[in-house]
Amino acid sequence: MYNRRFTPEIISALAENEIFVFGSSLKGAHGGGAARIARKCFGAVWGQGVGLQGQSYAIPTMQGGVATIRPYVDEFIAFATRNLELQFLVTKIGCGIAGFREEEIAPLFDAALDVENIILPLSFVKIIVAARSERIVKDKIRGSLMAGAAGDALGYEVEFLSRRAILARYGERGITRFALHHGKALISDDTQMTLFTANGLINSCYLHVEPQNAVTQAYIEWYHTQGGKTNGINNCWIGEIKALHSLRAPGNTCMSALGAISRGAEPCNNSKGCGGVMRVAPVGLFAASQLVACGRSWRDGDVFTLGAECAKITHKHPLGWLPAGLLAHIIYEIVERSLYKEIDRMEFEHIVGTAVHYLIVFSDSEDRFQLQTMIFRALELARQDISDVEAIRELGEGWTGDEALAIAIYCASRHFASVEDAIIASVNHDGDSDSTGSICGNIMGAIYGYEHIKNRNLFCPEGCNLEATLELSDITLALADDLATGCVISEYDPIDTPEKHQWYERYSCARPAGIGGR
């Protein structure tokens, strides 16, 4: 990260070890702009268009487009790296006489951000950091959704098996590779609902409606894909994907609650099942993406509250929706903090502790103390010399929201250094393996990002890759990227780019709650 001074707007003198970096012509005609200052004050040589000269360094900028400048910038960065005793003050090269915009030139210096003796203009640093932030958030969102789907698919195969039966079928480590069906690792209702959560959140941006309302409509549409009746609601583009209509053991609470809502009734249950928490990772990802894409600053408790409210749509017991608020906040904090620091195990445990603080502050339910105890016990067990089997057995089987989240947090903390080991531990137990695997995957994917996961081809048989093997990976990645970029269309602007056309095709079908389908 860039943690040093910026290049002054006006440089009239240099310290003995400082070098003035300016834009030049290849012929070295240092007659105007910063080049003139370099020649008059800092030893630039007429006729020398590249490299070190006196207390200045020339980077050619007037020989063509931006692509022709990049090799000279790369050469400069390499030179600075070899000469750490010097301090290089980079001016806004190419942004004067050469006529380029700062947004075009600044990204060329991305690698310079990590070189301690290169000083950059403040405007360059802002542009580079913004671009890096976008890349980081996109990678984390992709990682969280894809690792969540991978954990779901790994666990779905053994969801209703005891640990004894899992070991008998797959060996002493349990299931460690996808079981393929016609070449695909199948996702369950956990990932289906996660994808509809993401679609609903994106719809809320386009429609300018409360996220919870848009997510409710998305869930009703998911209910429709499972054979229910929804009064013609058709707001989510993923609702037309036939593979998402497959019945993958949908939860009874979700189905009965959404059936009631679709009939205009209020759901009536006291369920603390894990069907609320297993689907809300997109809430934390959505909040983090908005922080970068549109500068929205989420107030204390907002992410926690939205995650809890999205679970409360179907699950009315506090232990059904409080864990969802916790998970959403944890995911948000992981991604947000990744913008300026590496998330290690200590930082992860700090994030979890912070989330528990929000649990106590923003909820008045007595059940919050039971959940608090569960989460802290999970972290404590992760530090003890105890087997995964014993630890998870103490935490439960994952059928309820508090147990599922506690198991996922235990596995993430205990096996923090390995995405694979964390998810494998989270599915090889007696309980709700796909949900605990999904939640653990959401957490670990947010920590490590998609590039790390993609290169490892999680749980794939030899010779296979994750994108080709995991069911609906293309849809998962498409929604991840749309979450990352935010809404790029509006009713006031023309649809004049391929990106805008793609958004229009996907999201123009969305309509406010209460309006019928198209």
Q: Which domains does the chain have, with CATH numbers?
A: 18-120 (3.40.220.10), 132-502 (1.10.4080.10)
Helices and strands, counts by H and E, the chain: 21, 5
Query: What percent of the chain is predicted at pLDDT more than 90?
Result: 83
Closest residue by Cα to residue 244 from 403, 471, 67? 471
Distance CA 226, CA 7 (A): 60
Q: What is the pLDDT of residues 160-170, one digit of tens each?
A: 999 999 999 99
Among 340-349, 439-448, 482-491, the range with the most confident prediction by mean pLDDT is 439-448
Give the burial string for 32-47 (b: 16+ CB within 10 Å, else e).
Answer: ebbbebbbebbebeee
The one-letter code for the residue type at 435 is S
Query: What percent of the chain is predicted at pLDDT more than 70?
Result: 97
Q: pLDDT grade, residue 361 (50/70/90)?
A: confident
Please report the pLDDT score of residue 514 as a whole number: 47
Q: 3-state DSSP: the chain helix, strand, coil percent, rounded to 5? A: 60, 5, 35
Give the burial string for 449-466 (b: 16+ CB within 10 Å, else e).
Answer: bbebbbeebbbbeeebeb
Would you say residue 222 has pLDDT above 60?
Answer: yes
Please report the pLDDT score of residue 234 as a whole number: 78
Contact 138, 23 (CB under 8 A): no
Give the burial string for 215-239 (b: 16+ CB within 10 Å, else e).
Answer: bbbbbbbbbbbbebebeebbbbbbb
Contact 223, 259 (CB under 8 A): yes
Contact 292, 134 (CB under 8 A): yes
Please report the pLDDT score of residue 515 as a whole number: 41
pTM over 0.85: yes
Give residue 276's Cα distance to chain centre.
20
Contact 423, 440 (CB under 8 A): yes
Q: What is the pLDDT of residues 316-330, one digit of tens each?
A: 999 999 999 999 999
Q: What is the pLDDT of residues 10-48, one digit of tens each?
A: 999 999 999 999 999 999 999 999 999 999 999 999 999
- Contacts of residue 372, defined as CB under 8 A and 6 or more positions apart, other chains included, come to 356, 359, 360
Pairing of strands 51-53, 87-90: unpaired
Please report the pLDDT score of residue 423 as a whole number: 98
Give the angle subtended at the CA of 154 by the CAs of 150 and 159, to the nearest 5°. Answer: 130
Give the burial string for 281-314 (b: 16+ CB within 10 Å, else e).
Answer: bbbbbbbbbbbbbeeeebeebbbbbbbbbbbbbb
Min mean pLDDT across 56-60, 68-72, 259-263, 309-313 is at 259-263
Q: Cite the DSSP H helix spans in 172-317.
A: 189-207, 211-225, 252-262, 281-293, 302-312
Q: pLDDT grade, residue 341 (50/70/90)?
A: confident
Min mean pLDDT across 120-129, 136-145, 227-236, 412-421 is at 227-236
Contact 96, 131 (CB under 8 A): no
Q: What is the pLDDT of residues 185-195, one digit of tens each?
A: 999 999 999 99
Q: What is the pLDDT of residues 453-486, one digit of tens each?
A: 998 889 998 889 999 999 999 999 999 999 999 8
Q: At what angle do helices 122-156 and 189-207 cross, to 10 degrees?
A: 150
Would you say residue 286 has pLDDT above 80?
Answer: yes
Query: Distances from the Cα of 49 to the Cαs of 35, 86, 95, 105, 421, in angstroms?
Result: 10, 20, 17, 18, 55
Would you say residue 491 has pLDDT above 60?
Answer: yes
431: left (phi over 0), alpha (psi -120 to 50) or beta: beta
Distance CA 328, CA 325 (A): 5
Residues 95, 98, 103, 108, CA torsion sign: negative
Please report the pLDDT score of residue 516 as a whole number: 39
Strand order in the sheet with 118-119: 51-53, 56-60, 18-24, 87-90, 118-119
